[in-house]
Chain A
Amino acid sequence: MSQAELDKLIRSNYEAGFTTTVDTETLPPGLSEEVIRFLSAKKGEPEWMLEWRLDSYHKWLEMTPPDWAHLHHPPIDVNEVSFYSKPKSLDDAPKSLDEVDPELLATYEKLGIPLHEQEMLAGVAVDVVFDSSSVFTTFKEKLWEAGVIFCSISEAIQEYPELIQKYMGSVVPKGDNFYAALNSAVFSDGSFVYIPKGVRCPMELSTYFRINEANTGQFERTLIIADEGSYVSYLEGCTAPQRDENQLHAAVVELVAMPGAEIKYSTVQNWYPGDENGKGGIYNFVTKRGVAHDNSKISWTQVETGSAITWKYPSVILRGDNSIGEFYSVALTRHMQQADTGTKMIHLGKNTKSTIISKGISAGRSSNSYRGLVRISPRAENARNFTQCDSLLLGDTCGAHTFPYIESKNPSATIEHEATTSKVSDDQMFLCRQRGIDPEKAVSMIVNGFCKEVFKELPMEFAVEAGKLLEVSLEGAVG
């Protein structure tokens, strides 16, 4: 297949790129103590929350952005970012869907996320976040009956302050890194989940994040606590309009798996990636981390196709004995996208086990890096890790890089690392075409095959969506 054909193939439209016109209250760009006080007051937060934010802000002021990633971008000026934007219609929290702005409902319909419960995918509860605010959470009552708390983080701060105070920042401390500190100071909204002891959450929980306003950053914060012996599967999806400016997204996600609990966290990230010349797109700097206590399990699955820049390392601290951490990732970059993504598996407990399967697909003039750390602490007897990093190159103007870090301080550890780099070969393409399959379908089939090990970890509906997303991302007329 020629370069020209490949170029055509990877050029395609971003379907979620439309803008919604809603009347919003948006803060002028810039960050200061006043801004933080303003947004905390807007949310009617208790004093302790404001103090927490201000403390984070002061930590952040002392910090500098990380420069170790294989990413190139102009310095991010937070004074060009607006830290608060909320549709006015959400001023009084809607109590039922009838009270939600039809313009907002239409937005989610268009994105394929119907909010009317009767129309929803059976068994998925959704919290939707539009710019800085949570719009609506579905199936709340049904979940309540099971004892499951699923609401926006703003609501949780009001309703469950003891849980928030105990766990927020317990996994990702306020001053963990530049972007996490920024998030801790200005986080807007996000989801909160609590699964009580021994409860298997009766449905998939899902949050859908949408950035709409121009020059607005989204700083969501998600906290999931699975109490002893409980189970939850949580899905996260993201899109943003097509804009020429870069927009900042700096999220923090914290997971707490108490003894015997299991958390499965899946992401399909489709923020606007920018155009083929690298104009526009989301800067995605995300800190995701979970703590796994005795006999518990945390599993991250991510499909990353969007964002101009992705800086993201969903990690597991295997604190408890016999705990398990998993990371399954597909990262597709095309045009001028840059991704530096991977995971950290920190083995502290005995007999801890981690699995890392990373699939990077690079096309266009993009750059795709895997960066992973496996650390075995001195007391982590019999820890095991298996890592597999595969890169697939489409064309010869893109780059794939692998940066694995392994630190083992216990001689009983077993660590395996496998890495491959391959191209969609001319021979594979020719075999498909000789069997009558057009090149577009052939590439999507080959790429899907390459990702199979990861897709099978996604919940059913998401696996289908992820497959389609790859197809759309690779779509284009091929001559």
Chain B
Amino acid sequence: MLEIRDLHATVADKPILKGLNLTVNPGEVHAIMGPNGSGKSTLANVLAGRDNYAITGGEALFEGKSLAKQEPEERAQAGLFLAFQYPVEIPGVSNMEFLKAALESVRGAQGKEEWDSVTLLRQARAACKQVNLDASFLKRGVNEGFSGGEKKRNEIMQMLLMEPKLALLDETDSGLDIDALQTVAKGVNSLRSPERGIVLVTHYQRLLDYIVPDFVHVLSNGQIIKSGGKELAHELEEKGYGWLTGEEESA
């Protein structure tokens, strides 16, 4: 469902991805690991279409269509979801209002049945419960005054409702304590299905104890330098990234 071939991309005109190849098939969970600055988050943001993140060479196809030609909202409507590393606040816009607009657009584009407000509320409450968020969060402004952990759980809650075909999780584990990490992992695992692809971008191995990937890739200097199964993550945990990149790890 995701085909990335020799992808080159810049952030604000600075080359970050330098010939990246990756294929994700339905049902697979991929983990992208690598030291800070290797281009992990860039990859997630390029795929989702953030401003200033430009594809300058190669291609990225989602469901056979070039992502470069699609607006961010079109990619979302096609079933691509990005769980943000730093979810932003939108004061005064309630979570519920936001979800309604998002689901109307995405479900509509995918030809899924429209949810009336009762169904929407029921589904949203169930999703909240799944990630241990009190239903009162639905009435609050999007991420407004949420703690770091609450913001991350809010992202997963949205993901559960949006039922994406491809979920990209950008460092969703950063800043989470062990309980929250388990909650988040449980949410993600519940979405694992033969039709769905999941890409986890993470710096640390610990998330992968809870969400066990099918493939692990090491990203360094804008390229995937090593791929393997879940055991690669354990190897990285023991040895760090240095033995692959040939550099001392800084962070």
From known contacts A430-B51, A436-B109, A437-B102, infer whether A452 and B76 are also in contact, taking CB-CB under 8 Å: no
> From residue A446, how far is it (CB to closest CB) to chain B in Å?
6
- Provide the B86-101 mask, 1 if CB < 8 A to any CB of A, else 0: 1110111100011001
Task: Determine whether the beta carbon of A446 is less than 8 Å from that of B98.
Answer: no
Q: Which residue in A427, A438, A448, A452 is a CB contact (below 8 Å) of B88? A: A427
Q: How far is the CA of A432 from the CA of B87 in the complex (A)?
A: 11
Task: Determine whether the beta carbon of B97 is less than 8 Å from that of A435.
Answer: no
Q: Is B48 an interface residue when CB atoms closer than 8 A count as contact?
A: yes
**Docked complex: A1-30 residues within 8 A CB-CB of B:** 1-2
Task: Determine whether the beta carbon of B93 is less than 8 Å from that of A431.
Answer: no
Since A435-B105, A441-B101, A448-B92 are in contact, a sample of 19 more A-B pairs with Cβ atoms closer than 8 Å, ordered by chain A residue number, is A426-B51, A428-B88, A430-B72, A431-B84, A432-B101, A433-B49, A433-B71, A433-B76, A434-B48, A434-B82, A434-B84, A436-B162, A441-B105, A446-B93, A449-B91, A449-B92, A449-B141, A450-B91, A452-B92
> From residue A5, how far is it (CB to closest CB) to chain B in Å?
10
Task: Determine whether the beta carbon of B93 is less than 8 Å from that of A436.
Answer: no
Task: Determine whether the beta carbon of B102 is less than 8 Å from that of A436.
Answer: yes
Task: Determine whether the beta carbon of B51 is less than 8 Å from that of A435.
Answer: no
Residues of A within 8 A of B (CB): 1-2, 425-428, 430-439, 441, 445-446, 448-453
Q: Is B129 an interface residue when CB atoms closer than 8 A count as contact?
A: no
Q: Which A residue's beta carbon lies closest to that of B105?
A: A436
Q: How far is the CA of A227 from the CA of B234 in the complex (A)?
A: 80
**Which 10 A-B pairs rank lowest in CB-CB distance, beginning with the nearest?**
A449-B92, A449-B93, A435-B102, A436-B76, A452-B92, A436-B105, A433-B72, A436-B106, A427-B88, A433-B73
> From residue B49, how far is it (CB to closest CB) to chain A in Å?
8
Q: Which residue in A434, A446, A449, A450 is a CB contact (below 8 Å) of B72? A: A434
Q: Is B221 an interface residue when CB atoms closer than 8 A count as contact?
A: no
Residues in A with CB closer than 8 Å to B81 are 434
Q: How far is the CA of A430 from the CA of B86 in the complex (A)?
A: 12
Residues in B with CB closer than 8 Å to A436 are 73, 76-77, 102, 105-106, 109, 162
From known contacts A431-B87, A436-B77, A436-B109, infer whether A453 and B72 are also in contact, taking CB-CB under 8 Å: no
Q: How far is the CA of A1 from the CA of B98 in the complex (A)?
A: 19
Residues in B with CB closer than 8 Å to A431 are 84, 87-88, 90, 142
Q: List 8 A-B contacts (CB under 8 A).
A: A430-B48, A432-B90, A433-B73, A433-B76, A434-B75, A437-B73, A445-B98, A448-B92
From known contacts A430-B50, A449-B90, infer whether A435 and B84 are also in contact, taking CB-CB under 8 Å: no
Task: Determine whether the beta carbon of B90 is less than 8 Å from that of A435.
Answer: no
The interface centre, meaning the residue of B50, B51, B77, B90 with most chain A CB atoms within 10 A of its CB, is B90
Q: How far is the CA of A382 from the CA of B48 in the complex (A)?
A: 55
Residues in A with CB closer than 8 Å to B75 are 434
Q: Which residue in B71, B91, B92, B162 is a CB contact (below 8 Å) of A435? A: B162
Q: How far is the CA of A433 from the CA of B81 in the complex (A)?
A: 11
Q: How far is the CA of A428 from the CA of B106 in the complex (A)?
A: 18
**Docked complex: B108-125 residues within 8 A CB-CB of A:** 109
Q: Is B220 an interface residue when CB atoms closer than 8 A count as contact?
A: no
Residues in B with CB closer than 8 Å to A425 are 88
Residues in A with CB closer than 8 Å to B49 are 433-434
Q: Which A residue's beta carbon lies closest to that of B53?
A: A430
Q: How far is the CA of A433 from the CA of B50 in the complex (A)?
A: 9
Task: Determine whether the beta carbon of B76 is less than 8 Å from that of A435.
Answer: yes
Q: Which residue in A438, A446, A448, A453 is a CB contact (below 8 Å) of B73? A: A438
> From residue A328, how far is it (CB to closest CB) to chain B in Å?
14
Q: Which A residue's beta carbon lies closest to that of B155?
A: A431
Residues in A with CB closer than 8 Å to B48 are 430, 434
> From residue B75, how far is it (CB to closest CB) to chain A in Å?
8
From known contacts A436-B106, A445-B101, infer whether A450 and B77 are also in contact, taking CB-CB under 8 Å: no
From known contacts A445-B97, A446-B93, infer whether A435 and B88 are also in contact, taking CB-CB under 8 Å: no
Q: Which B residue's beta carbon lies closest to that of A449?
A: B92
> From residue B225, how far is it (CB to closest CB) to chain A in Å?
28
From known contacts A426-B51, A430-B72, A445-B101, infer whether A435 and B158 are also in contact, taking CB-CB under 8 Å: yes
> From residue A342, how far is it (CB to closest CB) to chain B in Å?
21
Q: How far is the CA of A450 from the CA of B93 in the complex (A)?
A: 8
> From residue B136, how far is it (CB to closest CB) to chain A in Å?
17
